[in-house]
Amino acid sequence: MPQHIKDYSSHGVTFGIAEAGAGRDILYLSSGMWFADDRAFVERLSGHGRVLAPVLPGFGRGDPGRGLTDVDDLAYLILDLVETLQLKDALLVGASFGGWIAAEMAIKSCNSIAAIAFIDPLGIKVGGREVRDIADLFGLPDADLRARAYVDPSIFVSDVKAIDDVELERRMRARESLARYGWSPFMHNPKLPGRLHRISAPSLFVWGARDRIVAPSYGRHFAERTPGSRFVEIPGAAHFPHIEQPAATLDALLSFADAHRAARR
């Protein structure tokens, strides 16, 4: 099903929203990683509801949103979107960096959210000061980064000569913006763990069993800090189970969402 990009403006910031499908509201927050393309997963999701996938400021063409400086800003921006579009009983899905944004949204308000599916989210610090919980996304050699992110690194085409200018621009914008929003502290909010108890929507943590960007142990700690959450590992996948094992990932999050949807009726 084709995705239609619409412009949305909020408090002086304009960004695009990819929309596809019909039915229940599904808000999808992309991984934000330049070495991942999750558009095919959005297409799969659109077979199960009306999917809204914001192209966050700085990650797409147009307004880079220079006035937005951290993930908290993005969380409020998307909460404004939820209110403006009057989403109800939405399934919120956030992958990697998008999962961090979803968590920051959820600690503020879950009023319009029926369930949350976190896919290998970033956002917290688990180990001590000298322990690296999250791989050095900007310092690792490309081959090492791909090996950590994928069970099958060939999924990602690393030869820039083999991709078109549009894809190259997408990657460069994503890399720059990810650094702007998450550089310091590196890809986490020190205050987030102490606020996870505020998440009132049922939450599922879906994790690639072979993730070496953020290990499953990191995910289990994240889930343990989130009330009433469930943790599921996806075999044969690393940091992007929705890309490497889309069917299993989709089945896990839809089964979870459907169960809680039925329980509310």
CATH code of the domain occupying 4-264? 3.40.50.1820
- Torsion of the alpha carbons at 5, 9, 89 and 235, rounded to the nearest 10: 50
DSSP states of 18-59: EEE--SSEEEEE----TT---HHHHHHHTTSSEEEEEE-TTT
Q: What is the pLDDT along the chain (265 residues), one digit of tens a residue?
A: 446 788 888 878 889 999 999 999 999 999 999 999 899 999 999 999 999 999 999 998 777 777 899 999 999 999 999 999 999 999 999 999 999 999 999 999 999 999 999 999 999 999 888 789 999 999 999 889 999 999 999 888 878 788 889 888 888 999 999 999 999 999 999 999 999 999 999 999 999 999 999 999 999 999 999 998 999 999 999 999 999 999 999 999 999 999 977 555 5
Tell me the pTM: 0.95
